[in-house]
């Protein structure tokens, strides 16, 4: 059974805006974030974070750190939950060659939103396959959101 989703930006929406968070000490979750997400959770909405993360392309932090940061956000907002994190690490003029791309996943383009289906496969953080890499290790398939994404 599918369910509606709410797409949220991360920086300035659920956490304080900082130019680039490259260490956990810079993370500051808004005091109302947990309550707001619990309301969405209770109402049956999937809470999905979509975010540009060009700091990866700039070499300021890496993917494992981003996962660590998202895990820390999850810890701080519990018992509320975010059902999935989707991010674009690309920049056309990236310093890190692996992330140099003019892709469809960089907001405001719609590539990240198109990946909502990935939640149905149980992945919490993936790369958009149309950008050349799929963190899921295969094709992302499925049309429905789970009642709760695995942690």
pLDDT mean for each 10 residues of the chain (151 residues): 82 94 96 97 92 94 95 97 90 94 87 65 50 34 35 35
Closest CA to 6 of 80, 83, 68, 61: 83
**In a 10 Å sphere around its CB, with 0-12 CB exposed, 13-18 middle and 19+ buried, how is residue 51 labelled?**
buried
CATH of the domain at 13: 3.40.50.1000
d(C-alpha 65, C-alpha 97), whole Å: 19
pLDDT at residue number 134: 35
* Residues 99, 104, 107, 111, CA torsion sign: negative
In a domain, 28, yes or no: yes
pLDDT at residue number 124: 54
Spell out the long-range contacts of 38-43 with Cβ–Cβ below 8 A and sequence spacing 24 or more. Answer: 38/79, 38/80, 40/6, 41/80, 41/81
In a domain, 141, yes or no: no
Count of structural domains, the chain: 1
d(C-alpha 115, C-alpha 109), whole Å: 12
Q: Which domain holds residue 33?
A: 5-131
Report residue 45 as tokens: 């909405």
pLDDT at residue number 95: 96
What's the predicted TM-score (pTM) here? 0.77
In a domain, 95, yes or no: yes
pLDDT at residue number 13: 96
From residue 103, alpha-carbon distances to 45, 61, 113, 125, 128 in Å are: 28, 20, 14, 18, 9
Closest CA to 33 of 16, 58, 53, 50: 16
In a domain, 74, yes or no: yes
In a domain, 150, yes or no: no
Query: Locate tokens 């005091």: which residue?
Result: 31
In a domain, 26, yes or no: yes
In a domain, 149, yes or no: no
In a domain, 137, yes or no: no
User: Before 64, cis peptide (omega within 30)?
Assistant: no
Query: How distant is the alpha carbon of residue 125 from its chain centre?
Result: 6
């Amino acid at each position: 059974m599918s369910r509606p989703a709410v797409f949220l930006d991360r920086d300035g929406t659920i956490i304080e805006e900082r130019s680039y968070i490259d260490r956990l000490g810079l993370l500051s979750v808004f005091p109302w974030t947990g309550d707001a997400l619990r309301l969405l959770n209770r109402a049956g909405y999937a809470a999905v974070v979509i975010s540009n993360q060009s700091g990866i392309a700039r070499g300021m932090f890496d993917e494992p750190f981003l996962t660590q940061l998202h895990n820390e956000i999850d810890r701080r907002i519990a018992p509320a939950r975010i059902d999935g994190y989707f991010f674009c690490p690309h920049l056309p003029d990236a310093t890190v060659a692996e992330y140099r791309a003019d892709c469809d996943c960089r907001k405001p383009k719609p590539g990240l939103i198109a990946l909502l289906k990935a939640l149905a496969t149980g992945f919490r953080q993936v790369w958009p396959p149309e950008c050349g890499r799929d963190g899921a290790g295969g094709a992302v398939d499925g049309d429905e959101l789970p009642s709760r994404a695995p942690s």
